[in-house]
Structure 1
Amino acid sequence: MPADRIHLVRHGEVFNPEGVLYGRLPHFGLSDLGKRMARAAADDLVSRGRPVTGLFSSPLQRARESAQPISAAFGLEPQIDERIIEPTNAFEGTRMRGPGGSLRKPANWRYLVNPWKPSWGEAFSSVTARMLAAMNDARHSVESGDVAMVSHQLPIWVTHLVITGRRPAHDPRQRRCALSSITSFEWHDGRFVEVGYTDPGAPIAADATDVGAV
């Protein structure tokens, strides 16, 4: 029997004092608050009383660090899956707004011509395809129990949109995918169905200074 449920877990707050869009850049790990958020996500999974028998993580540092409390809670070795990584982004390493921000520079406006693709990075269709493939493989990686997959806001959100029958193009300001949130899915009648969303980091999120890249 494959997994009973797949949990897409977003990483916790990143230490990002310069406020840059970090994307796939290395060395962007969790802040102290982000580590508390990651523990809150692990505690939420434990509180459900459901066995988590598989654990996957994006290769990026913030995701691997967010997987550690889940690993400790369930005695699992995280497996790295490149398919659940953050998408590419032409603005990576820059500050988006404010004085000197990338959006103020005419040379960068060419990246904004089609926000519905989006023109600044990996197409939404590509992101959802790799996420769904990774989820399906993860579902078959265990004989029973749940699987947790630690990923990033945009991949989780566009996957949610596609699974719930909507187009992946969206307004980034409308995403429901908070730091260390958990979006859960089950397999029914040949497809994934969303069965829940929790925000275990909410009680401490007011202190967050970095809520992630758009």
Structure 2
Amino acid sequence: MPAERLHLVRHGEVFNPRRVLYERIPGFGLSDDGRRMTRAAAEYVRGLDRPLTELVCSPLQRTRESAEPFTALFGLAPRVDDRVVEPWNAFAGTRMSKAVLIPTNWWRLRRPSVPSWGEPYAQIAERMTAAMDDAWHRADDGDVVIVTHQSPIWIAHLRVAGLPLRHDPRTRRCALSSVTSFERKGDVWRETDYAEPGATDGAVDVGAV
């Protein structure tokens, strides 16, 4: 039988003192607060009192570390899925607030609907849908947790809601260590809940692409 519910969990706060877009750059792990946030997310899922039978994460350090509390609480080793990774972004390694002020970068902002500065939203939607479908059918009843990133979660939300994928990244409802939950009836996904179990006031959250 397939799963019963699927939770997209965003990673916790990253240690990012330079406040750059960390994209897929190696070496960006969780801060101490980030580890606290991820523990809160795992405890929230445990508090739902539902069996967890599948744990998936993206290959990046911050998501692997964010999956660790789920392993500790549920005894599941995470399965790495490249399809739920952070999108690539032309501004990786820079501070976005400064990069957009440089005239030679303006051409990258010419088509925000794609977007022209990174991986196309449509491509993110397709890979996330495929990863969610596969995880759903791989599970033996119970729930699935996929530990991933802000953009893939928000794009999945838009796709499931039937909304345009074009959006302002600053408006995403996807806090650090948030949990966005879905169910699937037949071939149709629907979002069931959104929660922010980790206190994120004062957190540094400027690295998402």
What TM-score range do you get, normalising by the shorter chain? Answer: over 0.9
How far, CA to CA, are the matches of 1:166 and 1:142 in structure 2? 28
**Are residues 211 and 200 of structure 1, via their aligned partners in 2, closer, same or farther at CA, if it must alter by over 3 Å?**
farther
How far, CA to CA, are the matches of 1:31 and 1:150 in structure 2? 17
How far, CA to CA, are the matches of 2:85 and 2:186 in structure 1? 28
Aligned counterparts, 1:186-205, within 5 A: 186-201=183-198, 204-205=199-200
TM-score by length of 2: 0.98
SS in 2 for 1:213: coil
1:111 is matched with which residue?
108
How far, CA to CA, are the matches of 1:157 and 1:47 in structure 2? 24
How far, CA to CA, are the matches of 2:207 and 2:165 in structure 1? 19
Using the TM superposition, give the Cα deviation of residue 190 of structure 1 relative to its aligned residue in structure 2, in angstroms.
1.7
Using the TM superposition, give the Cα deviation of residue 171 of structure 1 relative to its aligned residue in structure 2, in angstroms.
1.2
Using the TM superposition, give the Cα deviation of residue 209 of structure 1 relative to its aligned residue in structure 2, in angstroms.
2.3
1:210 is matched with which residue?
205
SS in 1 for 2:122: helix
SS in 1 for 2:204: coil
Whether contact under 8 Å (1:30, 1:62) holds in the other structure is: yes
Number of equivalent positions: 209
What amino acid maps onto 2:124 in structure 1? Answer: V
1:161 is matched with which residue?
158
Instruction: Structure 1 unaligned segments of length 5 or more: list them.
Output: none
2:169 is matched with which residue?
172
What amino acid maps onto 1:103 in structure 2? Answer: V
Deviations along 1:140-165, one digit per CA (max 9) or x if unpaired, are 11221000000000110011011011
1:88 is matched with which residue?
88
Using the TM superposition, give the Cα deviation of residue 211 of structure 1 relative to its aligned residue in structure 2, in angstroms.
4.5
Name the % identity. Answer: 56
1:43 is matched with which residue?
43
What amino acid maps onto 2:127 in structure 1? Answer: R
Using the TM superposition, give the Cα deviation of residue 45 of structure 1 relative to its aligned residue in structure 2, in angstroms.
0.4
How far, CA to CA, are the matches of 1:210 and 1:177 in structure 2? 11
Runs of 4+ in 1 over 6 A off after TM superposition: none
TM-score by length of 1: 0.95
Whether contact under 8 Å (1:179, 1:211) holds in the other structure is: no
Deviations along 1:68-91, one digit per CA (max 9) or x if unpaired, are 001111000001000000001000
2:149 is matched with which residue?
152
Instruction: Structure 2 unaligned segments of length 5 or more: list them.
Output: none
Q: CA RMSD in A?
A: 0.9
Whether contact under 8 Å (2:55, 2:145) holds in the other structure is: yes
